[in-house]
Amino acid sequence: MSNQSMEVKVKELLELKRMKEELEAEIAAVEDEIKKVMGDEETLFAGAFKVSWKTFTSSRLDSTALKKALPEIAAQFTKQTTARRFSVN
């Protein structure tokens, strides 16, 4: 592909990303409206739809604390990966 055709593709990509951000903001706003109506309730029935907004607990490893408290063990179980980062500036 020539640089000119790539420029068109990059512009298309940036426009699609802008549209995605707008949609994500709209989705978040509608979700917030529903959550506001739900208040402390975990379940809402809206016609044929059942909406759930439930509290849950998860456990995650605090790698920063582990590296601080037991750096040798943290290093022993640290896996390095390689990837390529795509960006448009």
Q: What is the pTM of this model?
A: 0.75
Q: What is the pLDDT of residues 15-68, one digit of tens each?
A: 999 999 999 999 999 999 999 999 999 999 999 999 999 999 999 999 999 999
Domain locations in the chain as residue ranges: 1-52
Tokens representing 50? 């059942």
Contacts of 48 (CB under 8 A, 6+ apart): none
Amino acid at 70: L
Report how far apart, in Å, the C-alpha atoms of 62 and of each of 3, 59, 88 are.
46, 9, 32
